Amino acid sequence: MKHTNKIVITGLFAAILCVSAPIVLPLPISPVPVSLVPLVIFITSFILTPGACTMSVLVYLMLGAAGLPVFSGFTGGLGVLAGPTGGYLAGYLAAAFISSLFNNRFRQGFMHITGMITGLAAMYFTGTIWFTFQQDTGFLQALAVCVLPYLAGDAVKIAAAFLIGQKLRAYISRNNIIKGA
């Protein structure tokens, strides 16, 4: 039963990613849109183990790669993964694992925020490196287009995820809602 519960909960969070990811705010200065995915990943990282959190992101990516319109702007397919935002999509895996590792291993709020910042940095790094090669541009130019415009919004997402994640984890724990995830 514990294994089945873990699969269901992982699938549930993958479904939440699939529903939230297509809704984006495009920025005229960048091909990378503002997405709710980091917020959802960071909230998920408070609830699931690092393996389950990463698996939920992997399921989301596999569904998108298979052609389901779950990526930004209701797109899907391998072409999206090979496009300018493909590195950020791959970086979601690192963000999920790192933030969940910190959120499950440490109880101090400072370490939770550190984990989310570290996970976000890994996502930025993966995405920016991919963008640099995919668009044949310089690293600093890619940072200016793909990271700097997003820092303030991602800081808000981290703060919101911290507040929501802490409350949600306490509620789930207090009411014994999720076991083994």
pLDDT confidence bin for 88, thresholds 50/70/90: very high
- CATH code, 101: 1.10.1760.20
| 87 lies in some domain | yes
pLDDT digits (tens, 9 = 90+) for 120-160: 999 999 999 999 999 999 999 999 999 999 999 999 999 99
- At 15, the pLDDT band (50, 70, 90 cuts) reads very high
Q: Is residue 149 part of a domain?
A: yes
Length of the chain: 181
pLDDT at residue 94 in the model: 98
Full residue range of the structural domain in which residue 83 is found: 2-19+33-174
Whether 181 maps to a domain, the answer reads no
pLDDT at 180 over 80: no
Structural domain includes residue 25: no
Is 181 a residue whose pLDDT tops 70?
no
Query: How high is the pLDDT of residue 6?
Result: 85
With respect to residue 110, please indicate whether it lies within any of the assigned structural domains: yes
pLDDT class of 179 with cuts at 50, 70, 90: low
pLDDT value of residue 150 = 96
Residue 129 lies in a domain: yes
How many folded domains does the chain comprise? 1
Give domain status of residue 179, yes or no. Answer: no
Output phi, psi for 25, to 5 deg.
-115, 105
For residue 59, tell me if it sits in a domain: yes
The pLDDT value given to residue 46: 95
